[in-house]
Each structure stands twice: as C-alpha cells, then as structure tokens.
Amino acid sequence: MTTFRQIRTDFSFPIGYGEVGIEIETEAKSPYDRPRSKYWDAKEDGSLRNVGVEYVLIKPLDHNSKEYNEALDEFDAFQKKIKFIDSPYTSVHVHLNMVDRELIHMANFITLYLIFENVLTRYCGPDRDGNLFCLKTKDAEQLYRIYRDLIFNIDQGAGAKHCSRLVSSQIKYSGLNIANLRTLGSLEIRTHGGTTDVKEIRRWVDILMCLYNKAQKFSSPVEIVNLFKDKKKNIDLVKLIFGQNADYFSKEHIDNDIDKTLFYAASIATTVKDWSKYPALASPKPLFKNRMVSFNTASFDEIDATEGMWANANDRQWLLDRLARYQNTTLQQTIEPVGDM
C-alpha cells in the first residue's frame, strides 16, 4: 500500500488523522464577538463583504464520530445566536483527507467526482453552476488535464516532485481543488454554496463521504467507468453509490448530467496502462545503512552517506555535535530515518 505520506515527507500534515475538514464562510448583519469554541477557529475573511468570518474545523475529524457530531452541534448553537445572513459570496468547503489513503483511492475518488460533477452541482443549486469560485470541469477543461498529470506523475515515480509544483492560483477555484494535496494532503470540494444550516451541511458531507468510501471499494478508475457504459443502469448505480442520499438528486437529469462528464472520467481511466501496479514506485533508499559504529573512534569515513550527504558544512557540524554527545559510548547502533533531520 502506497500513500501520500510515503511520497511526500515534507507535507504540512493536518493535526490528527480525521477524514473530514470543514470550512464555513459566513456573513452577518452586524459585528459580533466571535464565540469561544472547542472545535472551530473563527477567522476574519477579507474576501467576504458583510462582517465576513470563516469557521474552520481546528482539526480534521472522522465522519460521524462523537467529535464530529459535537463540532456540528456546537456550530448549530452559534448560528442560533448570531444573525448570519444568506449571501451569494459565501460557500462551504469540505476537505477529504488523503494523507494515509492508498493512492488508488485518490484516483478513484477523482474519477467518481468527475462522473457525478454535474449531478452534485445541480444538487447545490443554480447559483453554483458556472460559478467562478467553484468551476466545473466542463467550464475549465484544463482541470481534467491537471488531474491526469498528477495521476500520471505519481505512476511514473515523480509524485512528490509534481505535487510540489501544484500552483494554487491555477486550480484553487475549481469545484474539485487538488492544490491542497501539496500542503494539507487533502482534496477540497468547493461546490456547495454558503449555508449555516447544520442539517444541510451534514447532508452535504454525507453525500461526499459516499464517494470517499466507495472509492476504496473499486480496483481502478477503469472498473468505475465501465459501470457507466449502459445508461439504463445509471439510476441503479446512483443508488448503489449514494444510498438513501440519492433521493436528493434530480432523477430526470441524471442520464444527461452523467453523459456530459463521462469523457473526463474516462480520460482519467486511460492515464495509467496497468492500474494493478499503480503506483509504480520504488521503495525509498535509506540514507544510512544499519551498522555498528564505535563513536569514540568514529570518523566521517565510517558513516555510509549517499549523494554527498556530508558535503554541506552545516550537516558536517551536525554530525560533529552528534559524535560529541556519544563520545563516551563504546558501541552505538546508528540508524537514521529517511527525511528531515
């Protein structure tokens, strides 16, 4: 199993390992004292207009866990006291944690999202269709090419380098924003409009979690796309994937909505020649061999380094300091981890 944590050791990973992060943008009639909160960080948002404040979960939480439910209940208590207003300038962003998920899970999720992008956007309302802050793939076709490039580079063993080049300004305002893979290890869904209705926020996260969980069940994007070859099965597939949440979708538009986005999903499916071997990553080589070193007589020559590890003066000083701390040790096993020192 290969995860993002394994290919990107320099991620600024979110605190904890929860599945879901939520950002709720709000506007209000008048200024107010931001409430003290156990779960939410209330930040002033200059991109909003009327007393704009964004409520961000302090850490990602597992879906439907005790903490998750308590966090939403806490926000519900806030919205009953604060006079929030409906605004076309606000939205709800959901982050789905991919840090410790298999990389095939991410590829499957992107495939499923693209298939249902029109269905999900229609659910979120007409003001989200064509919205410049949550662009659909059909409105900005460069997006599916960016998704393809990410998946392809991971398959070629260049995932870490490619992730470091993901530019937020190019893809931040897409409905499915992968730029946060670079810093948080999450996929951000920006499709939903602004709301402080906790019941609706719960439902929206439930819908996205259906995709998130089902993405783990499929062997590859090819398997997913092949399911949708027959339009007659679309309704049944929607029910299979979304369960009772399928009742919230417009059934009369499902066939047409899926038909318009299936090409993008198929493009993802053809990115990799052999999904059974995805990702084709070699195991990282350790910087040091596991060997016994006598520290009181140790020298630089006795330590196996790779690619001029000790050529840098600061690194050499680090080693000198380390040797000094162990100069009275007769035998010390030297095992240094791959990654930052």
Residue 278 CA to residue 284 CA, distance in Å, equals: 16
216 and 173 fall within a common domain: yes
Residues 239 and 296 in one domain: no
Range of the domain at 298: 291-334
pLDDT at 309: 47
Boundary (domain end) residue, out of 277, 301, 321: 277
Q: What pLDDT is attached to residue 169? A: 58
Separation between Cα atoms, residue 298 and residue 54, nearest integer Å: 55
Which residues is 57 bridged to in the sheet?
A: 40
**How do residues 260-296 score in pLDDT, each as one tens digit?**
999 999 999 999 999 998 986 544 443 334 333 344 4
pTM: 0.80
Distinct helix (H) and strand (E) counts, the chain = 11, 9
Task: Count up the domains in the chain and report the number.
Answer: 2
Q: Are 95 and 240 in a shared domain?
A: yes
For the stretch 32-64, pLDDT in tens is 999 999 999 999 988 888 999 999 999 999 999
Altogether, the residues listed in the chain come to a count of: 341
pLDDT digits (tens, 9 = 90+) for 286-341: 333 433 334 444 444 444 444 444 455 555 565 566 555 545 444 444 434 434 33
List C-alpha distances in Å: 2 to 102, 154, 170, 188, 272.
5, 10, 27, 21, 16
258 and 136 belong to one structural domain: yes
